[in-house]
Amino acid sequence: MADIKSQISDDVKAAMRSKDKERLGALRLIQAAFKQKEVDERIELSDEQVIVILDKMAKQHRDSITQFKDANRDDLVKIEQFELDIIDAYLPAKLSDEEISALIEGAISKSGAESIKDMGKVMGMLKGELQGRADMGKVSGLIKAKLST
């Protein structure tokens, strides 16, 4: 499978050829975020790092959508949703609640976590596996609930 960065680069070229300005703009925003990270840290991004950036961008768009809906700015909601849909297309498939629970149970038993004090251990084990595939805030809440009982 081609890496995500080169896939996005190919999609930028395709959007340019088809004169799809909205899609091109959204893809260039993604590329700019990648470039910013690469320049700031003087690194070449791996697929895992790309997923972290895309996940963060998706979260920002979801937050913006919520705020724009509250302000009755449907025009801005539409733009944010369009960009979010493009970002989501490059993220791994989302996990179901059952799959997330199973992974949490596995991490708790593997790490020997017994109380809320061990939450960092469990989150550390799951972060790489769940990044971009689950809402990490929700995962954190589920882990907290399981370790509190």
Query: For the chain, what are the domain ranges?
Result: 4-90, 97-148
Query: Taking 80 as the threshold, does the pLDDT of residue 149 lie above it?
Result: no
Q: What CA–CA distance (Å, rounded) separates 52 from 143?
A: 20
pLDDT (mean) for 36-46: 94
pLDDT (mean) for 132-137: 85
Same fold, 4-90 and 97-148: no
19 φ/ψ angles, rounded to the nearest 5 degrees: 55, 40
Of 111, 109, 104, which is closest to residue 144 (Cα–Cα)? Answer: 104
CATH of domain 97-148: 1.10.10.410
**In CATH, what is the architecture of 4-90?**
Orthogonal Bundle (1.10)
Cα–Cα distances in angstroms (integers) from residue 71 to residues 75, 88, 122, in the given order: 11, 24, 38
What band does 114 get if pLDDT is binned at 50, 70 and 90?
confident
Q: What CA–CA distance (Å, rounded) separates 12 from 143?
A: 39
pLDDT (mean) for 33-58: 93
Computed on alpha carbons and rounded to an integer, the radius of gyration of the chain in Å comes to: 18
Query: Taking 70 as the threshold, does the pLDDT of residue 92 lie above it?
Result: yes
What band does 1 get if pLDDT is binned at 50, 70 and 90?
very low
Of 77, 126, 84, which is closest to residue 104 (Cα–Cα)? Answer: 126
Q: Which residue has the higher pLDDT, 93 or 13?
A: 13
